[in-house]
Chains A and B, each alone.
Chain A
């Protein structure tokens, strides 16, 4: 194992491994302190960054932060590394790579992606300011499709999240109508079910599929259950559009979610075989989030941002339609306040995009974190500028099932208004066809009672 040193302010700092160096260089956050991995002083943190800037990118191939022999995510990263794509940056240090990213164009960024490993992009993110993370991510274009196309320039999609604490169909339908009338749902209409029982999940799938078919909505549904539940339901002929799974950056953390790469392979094949997409065949929906590996006691001494980036190697294997980093949900012991949540959001979005993923975000906080709706607005604006593929939206920004606050449908309207962002093209055409699109492309403020979609509410409530 290599050691790394640097001298700052007359003090010589020593870092015993690449993982230690990455952790010490990471911007401050509570989770790394909880894990005992954070730099002990502000100067040590910057000293680590000086040392990290000189590390050649090839070092990340030579010294995996978690051993190849014991971790299948490491094996996935090493075994699928594209040396030809890497050639463009193979001679660079981490510091040089930062400058390369800031000057590269969209085509160069797309070409290099298969040659980059999560550890390389995590490392370079630690040398980048928030503005750097926005500027580079904005240049990356990742386009995916199922019944709608996600990630086109000038577009922002949203997940409509009509959760209900008891999965009550009428309650779900009411929230679904609310979201649709506010122009939401082009990334996915996705429900977090109250239970993982196959019957309950299937009922919700049928409900969503019925609405999507009846109104010919060019979008996809998802009930966010365990991958094995989705596989079971697909085998029984349930209308599964997207297969959902929470994933993490180590084998042990994935095991804590009850998943293996083999299981994901099977689910991916099963969903592809259904052929339910119309304009594309990206069938996976993954969620991730900093802190999950530490929470599962499965981080192997790697800082939470680097472990998070490793989850993107797992996601990348399955050409997902959507990858959602749920930033801020896990609590203040991992990301303490609005400042730390914002930083993590920008890092995750940057790392995922540079690795070639359709990154979106659940920009959120719990009530014991030091954050509020102003933080949501700040994060949303920066992520909109950074070109996030989609954001999660909830009624009034308050999810009554998961008990946290996220962006609202109104927040998405704001972002579309101030940045001139439009919905996914197929969904935009549909919005126009049902009278919800204004002449300037804005979502019209219509009377719910008079609108044809109100039947969704009336019938399911009846």
Chain B
């Protein structure tokens, strides 16, 4: 039986079933293998994910999208992408040379834009998230210059906030690309982080920020600003801090 015949005969059922799952079901067969079309579709999805992981972070893109907002550029202790992928510990520590560039102050919050595992997510969504969230914060809050961090994992924000004297840190990080989304941004909020002591259980996380298919900036910023306000009241983030709104908030970390 040829692939064409299978598609024809199965045609009534699979489209109905596919409305209930994005799983790659009913692909048909060419012998034991996949039909060419589906094989190339899988490769296209994987290629998008690979490119998102390996495309270099361009801080200029984010800085430009932030308009006149002051920014500071730093790197982690991971010197390149290959090291970064194999040494998560280095991606959580500041390059010692960059520590001195950080402005110390009485900051209520610092936003850290971290390339994470998808620079594409950061290029496309990070600046809009910073602007949308900042607009919702009380005007009395001291918001630090936005830190643009290269080869950076979530916990690099602990090091940065601690060095700057910031009360809380929001890390906007490119999430590990999947086969259906390579541009998903995560937001991790941590109150009074302590490098090496703070764990993922001490953070609150919003995942899948990628309009229009994922969370919109408005919705994500609303949740984030709400969490920030309550974190300041209760003096903590993490499992003890609950989300009041309906849409899902995940405390499980997408990447460590």
Task: Name A residues whose Cβ lies closer than 8 Å to a Cβ of B.
Answer: 30, 33-34, 162-164, 168, 170-175, 177-178, 182, 332-333, 336, 366-368, 372-373, 394-398, 400, 403, 405, 408, 410, 413-414, 416-417, 445, 447-450, 454, 457-458, 461
Known: A448-B10, A461-B20. A395 touches B25 (CB 8 A): yes
From known contacts A367-B49, A398-B45, infer whether A174 and B88 are also in contact, taking CB-CB under 8 Å.
Answer: no
Q: Are B31 and A417 in contact (CB under 8 A)?
A: yes
Closest to B9 in A: A447
* Stretch in B124-132, B134-142, B158-166, B177-185 with 4+ CB within 8 Å of A: B177-185
A400 touches B180 (CB 8 A): yes
Bound complex: CA of A400 vs CA of B20, how far in Å?
12
Is B6 within 8 A of A333, CB to CB?
no
Are B24 and A395 in contact (CB-based, < 8 A)? Answer: yes
Check if B10 sits within 8 Å of A396, measured CB to CB.
no
B101 CB–A CB distance under 8 Å: no
A450 to B9, Cβ gap below 8 A?
A: yes
Residues of A within 8 A of B33 (CB): 410, 414
Q: A34-B89, A398-B179, A448-B26 are in contact. Are A372 and B46 (CB under 8 A)?
A: yes
**Cα A280 to Cα B138 with chains together (Å):** 66
**Residue B232, interface by CB 8 Å:** no
Nearest CB in chain B: distance from A265 CB, A: 29
Contact in complex: B32, A461 (CB < 8 Å): no
Assess whether B21 is in contact with A168, with CB atoms less than 8 Å apart.
Answer: yes
B17, CB-defined interface residue at 8 Å: yes
Cβ contact within 8 Å between B21 and A367: no
Q: With A and B bound together, what is the CA distance between A120 and B117 in angstroms?
A: 38
Q: CB distance A396 to B29 under 8 Å? A: no
Least distance between A335 CB and chain B CB atoms (Å): 10
Measured CA separation A159–B85 after assembly (Å): 30
Partner of B178, one of A373, A403, A410, A445: A403
B1 at the interface (CB under 8 A from A): yes
Mask: chain B, 12-49; 1 = CB below 8 Å from A; 0 = not: 11101111111111110101111000100011011001
A408 proximity list for chain B (CB < 8 A): 34
Closest to A413 in B: B32
B189 at the interface (CB under 8 A from A): no
Chain B hits for A395, CB < 8 A: 23-25, 27
Q: Mark B41-66, 1 if CB is under 8 A from A, else 0.
A: 01101100110010000000000000
